[in-house]
Amino acid sequence: MLLINKLFAGGVAVPHRKNTAEMETVVMDTPSKVIIPMAQHSGPPCRPTVKKGDIVKVGQLIGDSDAYISAPIHSSVSGIVKRVEPMLYASGHLVISVEIEADNKQELSEDIKAPSVNNREQFIEAIRGSGLVGLGGAGFPSHVKLNPPKDKKIDYLIINGAECEPYITSDYRECIEFAPYIIKGIQLVLDMLEIPRAIIGIEDNKPKAISLLKEKSKNDSRISVYSLRSRYPQGAEKTLIYTVTGRKVPPGKLPADVGCLVFNVNSISFMAKYVETGIPLIKKRVTVDGPVVREPKNVEVLIGTSIGDVFEFSGGFLSKPYKVLMGGPMMGIAQYSLETSVIKNTNAILAFDKNEGDLPPETPCIRCGRCVAACPMNLLPHEINRFVMAGRYNELDKFHILDCIECGSCSYVCPAKRHLVQSIRLGKDAVRRNAKKA
Amino acid sequence: MYVCSSPHLRDNCTTTKIMLDVIIALLPAVVAGIWFFGYRAAVVILVTVITAVAAEYLMRKGLKRDNTISDLSAVVTGLLLALNLPPAIPLWIAAVGAVIAIVIVKQLFGGLGQNFMNPALGARAILVAAWASSMTTWTQPFGETVTTTATATPAADAVASATPLAALKEGIYGIYSYGDLFWGNIAGCIGETSAFAILLGFVYLLVKGVISWHIPVIFTATTAVMTWMLGPDGMFTGDPLYHVLSGGLLLGAVFMATDYVTCPVTKTGAAIYAFGCGLLTALFRLYGSMPEGVSFAIILMNVVTPLIDRHTIPASFGGERNVG
């Protein structure tokens, strides 16, 4: 078993703060209501298949789409549909959502039965039916990933357990609590898609997860477990692929173009569970942490539960939260309301006080080059920042602005505290708009 | 609740901390300068630092901009200027130099991060042009001030206080041992005499990650190879070690050429820039009318830096380089 892996260039040493690592997942009670948004994946949103007044059961289909890049959405509770209308979404937009008042009986839908999975087509169809999307954060529909173009031969199935964001321990808990399912899921995909090898990549700050998965996979020579250097953004898809295979995904290309298929540990484990039970994706493990959370913990939450309810379940706040994040501190989205719902790819909700949540003021760039050294995509963030702030959008292409993965390493290291990745997002948007116009 | 775009976490390194590290790294050279040239050196240093900070404060106030003296960059400029001046420099000239550095070279171009050449070196160049004799009046360590200039005919008493490079220029060998050059027992600018003190600072900057080795090493190595190659008695007859340890080469390579604002950002760009600095230094020293050329070499390469940057935009991860 090959255990040496490459080190990706750049990145930053972020603090780990994995306070909840050894906290076993606790199941949260059914909330009184859930609000389930119809856009929980990349691609066009689903259209609701229920209307106000309908009685729904757990696991029942409530949203679907004809678009290929999409994933169906299921009810996480049994109860009655109260509203179907645009509601506040984690991104800050309004998104058509289904509000269901729970009856607390949690009756399972009659449609639920374990799918029969005997070949590739059945497997992909089953995964589409499960509503699975990439649980690591991107939310890309898994059935699309499992179905790469026929001319792309996949050599490696890569399982992402890097979890390089501070605070979050949701992937780690999956490794510790459901290691056998992770291995089963891997074997399922290897068999169904006829992929020769699988590599599980985990950062070396999680030695227990590494040794456990090594132990569980020792009878399957196709599976290797790699201990990766703990360095942000180790878990970014392109850096992970490079680290474990030495292959570089070119700009604008997909992992399948270099013979790789990447799934988060939670996603692969879910596949095994789904094939066993047929219960679609209706719940999610969420790390609840941050300095103002009274009892940080890992919570199994029904999708659609408001983050306010989840914080309440974690003992509430020690003081008024200054900033609340959905996701980790490096890439998470700040929330302005506690009404937003936990969705399929939510892996953490964090609450910060002013001390931790405030940003220092910007000062002039001194061209120190720390952002350049930190950029895992080999870009020049300080130059892009300069051009964006000057409004020179049509010159941004030469700096490869669209190749930015928005990991935030540049802003993290900047001694002048400049809003580098933030301005790059602005620039990317302008470049895309210009391209559309042309 | 406060909403902003990620990341929500920042490293605790700040511009002020970096400047403080540079000041700490300069302390050995400061101590060496005061040790060899006495209290006069300390007075020059105080004058330039205080003038630089005062000029920065007043200029920002005059321009109605926010006050920036707390970032310590003016202190660094004042300190670097003093270390590039002869110990016997009239104090008013030192003060004028500090004002030129801050007001003309730095603030008039937009302040920190916007200057196109190193402020201390820009000011030094103007002082050399304006007050050539004061800028080339050297002091022997622990000794008297004697005037020598590059163009003066070597007289017996003048030789004793010539800088190592001035002596070399006039074809005089053997008055300084490598030991003198290394420890700093030689005539010269306040901060440039002791190679040992500068190397201590270099190691500190490397350990703290303030600079990488590329520019100082490539710069120094290029000058060494060129001076060795283009020796006085034909190819490869030069004395590279003498050249490396003499004059402002180490001070320039470690502290001046590595000024973030005026050197290229990428490794490739930095290598081209450092090679240019080294090449020009050797050519100025060997064929110029003045014995030393480090500061002019750096200034010239400072000016070329935007050009180097424009042509060294790297390919993105997995991608190809844009041409042109």
Q: Please give the share of chain A, as a percent, with pLDDT higher than 70.
A: 99
Is residue A337 less than 8 Å (CB to CB) from chain B? yes
Contact A338, B18 (CB under 8 A): no
Strands of the A55-56 sheet, one edge to the other: A33-37, A94-102, A79-88, A55-56
Instruction: Pick the closest to residue A146 from A185, A113, A202 (CA basis).
Output: A185
Residue B306, pLDDT score: 96
Residue B110: how many CB atoms within 10 A of its CB?
12
> Which of B8, B309, B316 is the closest to A357 by Cβ?
B8
Q: What is the mean pLDDT of chain A?
A: 95
Is residue A387 less than 8 Å (CB to CB) from chain B? no
Residue A236 has pLDDT above 60, yes or no: yes
| Chain A CA closest to residue B14 | A415
Cβ neighbours of B3 in A, within 8 Å: 92, 323, 334-336
Closest CA of chain B from A397, distance in Å: 9
Q: Which two tokens stand for residue B206?
A: 């490397």
Closest CA of chain A from B11, distance in Å: 5
Residue B157, pLDDT score: 42
Cβ neighbours of A260 in B, within 8 Å: none
Rounded Cα distance between B100 and B109, Å, is 12
Contact A170, A137 (CB under 8 A): no
Q: Which two tokens stand for residue A306?
A: 């408001």
Q: Mutating which of B3, B4, B9, B312 best tests the A interface, going by the most A Cβ atoms within 10 A?
A: B9
Contact A21, A297 (CB under 8 A): no
One-letter amino acid at A347 equals N
Q: Which of residues 203-262 of A touch B (CB under 8 A)?
A: 238, 242, 248-251, 253
Tell me which architecture the domain covering A120-277 has in CATH.
3-Layer(aba) Sandwich (3.40)
Rounded Cα distance between A356 and A321, Å, is 10
User: Look-up: residue for tokens 């050009």?
Assistant: B307
Residue A91, pLDDT score: 87
Residue A5, pLDDT score: 63
Is residue B265 less than 8 Å (CB to CB) from chain A? yes
Contact A363, B15 (CB under 8 A): yes
Is residue B13 less than 8 Å (CB to CB) from chain A? yes
Instruction: Pick the closest to residue B243 from B256, B230, B233 (CA basis).
Output: B230
State pTM to two decimals: 0.93
For residue A426, what is the DSSP state?
H
The DSSP string of B82-138 is HHTS-TT--HHHHHHHHHIIIIIIIGGGTSTTT-SS-HHHHHHHHHHHHSHHHHTEE
Q: Which two tokens stand for residue B184?
A: 């700093």
| Chain A CA closest to residue B66 | A363
Q: What is the mean pLDDT of residues A62-85?
A: 96
Residue A199, pLDDT score: 97
| Chain A CA closest to residue B258 | A368
Residue B153, pLDDT score: 40
Backbone angles phi, psi at A25, to 5 degrees: -65, 130
Assembly ipTM: 0.91
Q: Which of residues 67-96 of A touch B (CB under 8 A)?
A: 92
Rounded Cα distance between A248 and A242, Å, is 5
Q: What is the mean pLDDT of residues A1-6?
A: 55
Find residue B52's DSSP bridge partners: none
Rounded Cα distance between B189 and A191, Å, is 74
Q: Which two tokens stand for residue B12?
A: 């605790």
Closest CA of chain A from B231, distance in Å: 37
The string of pLDDT tens digits covering residues A258-311 is 999 999 999 999 999 999 999 999 999 999 999 999 999 999 999 999 999 999
Find residue A323's DSSP bridge partners: A352
Q: What is the mean pLDDT of residues A120-146?
A: 94
Sign of CA dihedral A365, A237, A70, A37: negative
CB contact under 8 A, A238 and B3: no
Is residue B8 less than 8 Å (CB to CB) from chain A? yes
Cβ neighbours of B18 in A, within 8 Å: 366, 368, 415
Residue A4, pLDDT score: 55
Rounded Cα distance between A406 and A422, Å, is 8
Q: Measuring CA to CA, how many Å separate A379 from each of B97, B210, B317? A: 38, 20, 8
Instruction: Pick the closest to residue A45 from A68, A62, A74, A65 (CA basis).
Output: A65
Instruction: Pick the closest to residue A236 from A335, A143, A134 (CA basis).
Output: A134
Rounded Cα distance between B265 and A219, Å, is 50
Rounded Cα distance between B224 and A290, Å, is 55
Residues of chain B predicted below pLDDT 70: 144-161, 322-324
Kindly calculate the radius of gyration of chain A based on its CA atoms and give it in whole angstroms. Answer: 21
Rounded Cα distance between A422 and B270, Å, is 27
3 state SS of B182: helix
3 state SS of A333: strand
Residue B158, pLDDT score: 40
Is residue A7 less than 8 Å (CB to CB) from chain B? no
Residue B151, pLDDT score: 40
Burial of residue B271 (number of CB atoms within 10 Å: 0-12, 13-18, 19+): middle
Q: What is the mean pLDDT of residues A13-33?
A: 96
Contact A436, A393 (CB under 8 A): no
The string of pLDDT tens digits covering residues A384-412 is 999 999 999 999 999 999 999 999 999 99
> Which of A92, A251, A352 is the closest to B318 by Cβ?
A251
CB contact under 8 A, B18 and A14: no
Residue A436, pLDDT score: 84
- List every span in chain A annotated with CATH 3.40.50.11540: 120-277
Contact A294, A132 (CB under 8 A): no
The string of pLDDT tens digits covering residues A330-382 is 999 999 999 999 999 999 999 999 998 998 999 999 999 999 999 999 999 99
Is residue A172 less than 8 Å (CB to CB) from chain B? no
Contact A417, A378 (CB under 8 A): no
Q: Mutating which of B261, B308, B316 best tests the A interface, going by the most A Cβ atoms within 10 A?
A: B316
